[in-house]
Structure 1
Amino acid sequence: MSGHSKWHNIQAKKSKVDAKRGKIFTKIGKELMVAVKNGGPSEDTNSKLRDVIAKAKSVNMPSDNIQRAIKKAAGELDSVNYEDIIYEGYGPSGIAVIVESLTDNKNRTAGNVRHAFTKHGGNLGSTGCVSFMFQRKGQIVIEKNDSIDEDEMMMMALEAGAEDFSSEEEVYIVTTTPEDFGAVREAMETNNVEFLEAEIKMVPDTYTVIDEETSTSFQKLLDALEDDDDVQNVYHNAEFPEGWDE
């Protein structure tokens, strides 16, 4: 099956997640709270909550932390209301960037996001300026090992309703529509498949290849955005050089 080779991008992202695990857990805790507020604390009846729990597990968030966040959210339904706001803009060399936020103060968040773009060689754009270059997809990343047969994994994914399956250097990448993501993920979980990543995200249609100098500059923008407590996810179409690391 087809797929743009992007394992080194995923690998770079994973190392960032490992380095900022506490902050990642806080952000996922906020997503859990919003999911519970919107659909209730039961995994059986709240598909969004199931998806967020899968995302939490993929970054090794302890089950106790997940359940604590759900119970806290269920008991605080009248607490802070977070607004979901998406920003779009350009990084250095015209890299397309989408920033997803959950905020209780949109003026603060907009100012922080704008400052990050401006400081690191980019500029914040208007709604729709880059989103047409992306598609919302479910993406499940599975680490290759000797116990996983590629053909079996591909058939399992496709029979569960996956849209695409690709084999990268060290991982398999299963792509789904947003609507089918939960069913595909749950089918693979039933077969005891463990995930490096499992979430619905914005996937670029094409990638912009960047050199090492631009990579260093762009990474500073990514770090500034991801360090913001209001920012949940940052998506982009940059293709970092093979083997690059800041």
Structure 2
Amino acid sequence: MSGHSKWHNIQKTKGAQDAKRAAAFTKIAKEMYVAVKEGGGSTDPSYNSRLATVITKAKAANMPNDNIKRVLEKAANAGSGDSYESITYEGYGPSGIAVIVETMTDSRNRTAGNVRHHFDKYGGKMGAAGCVSWNFSKKGVLVIDNEDGDYEEDNVMMDAMDCGADDFEADGDCFTIYTDPDDFNAVADALTKKGYTFVSAQIEMVPGEYKKLDNPDDITNMEKMLDIFEDDDDVQNVWHNWDRD
């Protein structure tokens, strides 16, 4: 889960996830169940593009291959995911920060009530569908860590473009590669074959513009709001336009 694709910001929001790895894997497993269901029961990522996307995300999150295999076997044999549906909520955090909350739930009433409560508790407000999503674009986002300086920026950029990426961004010690959502799996596979590994790989809602918070109380409340969303079992992803740099 991240606010936008800058890896330094992703690291800040994923810090809690790293301490709760099992919970993060559970959410990815839920996505796999639904992907298998919506793919007609297929557990072959070659014929199930949504599943291929989730598996790429799982590997970037360091989910062990044995875990992935067990989840897929369970999904194929037990019809898992039949009761889940995907629902997206939109709203505002402190000082009008735009927030999109993607959920996967077996109880609309429970999830809607919890999401509304999370917004309200920390100075935000849940809004109507479309109230903030107009400022976001769906993109495939692949992040490569270069903290050790193993990669040359120009080489990574050329490889990314050769593999079909739409855009490339160097930000400190990481590289962010953007793709059309429909090209995400092909670009990820091509870069993997070139020897690259990702610290984050998923379809994201990327804001067109970002907003800073200056008031310490707003910053604290926004942090707490993101934390409570992360801890909610029904919440899969949270996207926002808070510039935390």
Please indicate, yes or no, whether the TM-score normalized by the shorter chain is above 0.5: yes
Q: Find the counterpart in structure 2 of residue 156 from structure 1.
A: 159
Unaligned runs of 5+ in 2: none
Identify which range, 66-75 or 6-15, moves more after superposition: 6-15
In 1, Cα distance between equivalents of 2:100 and 2:65? 30
Note if contact 2:149-2:173 (Cα within 8 Å) is conserved in structure 1. no
Which of the numbers 83, 86, 93 marks the counterpart of 2:85?
A: 83
The question of 1:217 aligning with 2:229 is answered: no
Measured against aligned partners, the alpha-carbon deviations of 1:42-86 in whole angstroms (never above 9, x if no partner) come to: 122111111101101111111111111111000112664211100
Note if contact 1:87-1:127 (Cα within 8 Å) is conserved in structure 2. yes
Letter in 1 for 2:226: L
Q: TM-score, structure 2 length as denominator?
A: 0.93
Letter in 2 for 1:16: A
Q: Provide the secondary structure at the position in 2 that maps to 1:223.
A: helix
Q: Find the counterpart in structure 2 of residue 201 from structure 1.
A: 204
- Report the CA distance shift for 1:180/1:79 in structure 2 as closer, same or farther (over 3 A): closer
Report the Cα offset of residue 17 of structure 1: 2.4
Q: TM-score, structure 1 length as denominator?
A: 0.93
Letter in 2 for 1:18: D
Report the Cα offset of residue 7 of structure 1: 3.9
Letter in 2 for 1:128: G
Identify which range, 124-133 or 208-217, moves more after superposition: 208-217
RMSD: 1.5
Identify which range, 121-130 or 142-151, moves more after superposition: 142-151
Identify which range, 141-150 or 201-210, moves more after superposition: 141-150
Equivalent residues in 2 for 1:131-210, closer than 5 Å = 131-144=133-146, 145-210=148-213
Note if contact 2:34-2:80 (Cα within 8 Å) is conserved in structure 1. no
Q: Find the counterpart in structure 1 of residue 25 from structure 2.
A: 25
Identify which range, 205-214 or 163-172, moves more after superposition: 205-214
Measured against aligned partners, the alpha-carbon deviations of 1:92-148 in whole angstroms (never above 9, x if no partner) come to: 110000000111110110000001111111010000000001000000000013331
Measured against aligned partners, the alpha-carbon deviations of 1:192-242 in whole angstroms (never above 9, x if no partner) come to: 2110100001000000111343222101111111111111000000011x4
Runs of 4+ in structure 1 over 4 Å off: none
Unaligned runs of 5+ in 1: none
Identify which range, 119-128 or 76-85, moves more after superposition: 76-85
Q: Find the counterpart in structure 2 of residue 50 from structure 1.
A: 52
In 2, Cα distance between equivalents of 1:180 and 1:79? 26
Q: Provide the secondary structure at the position in 1 that maps to 2:182.
A: coil
Q: Percent identity?
A: 52
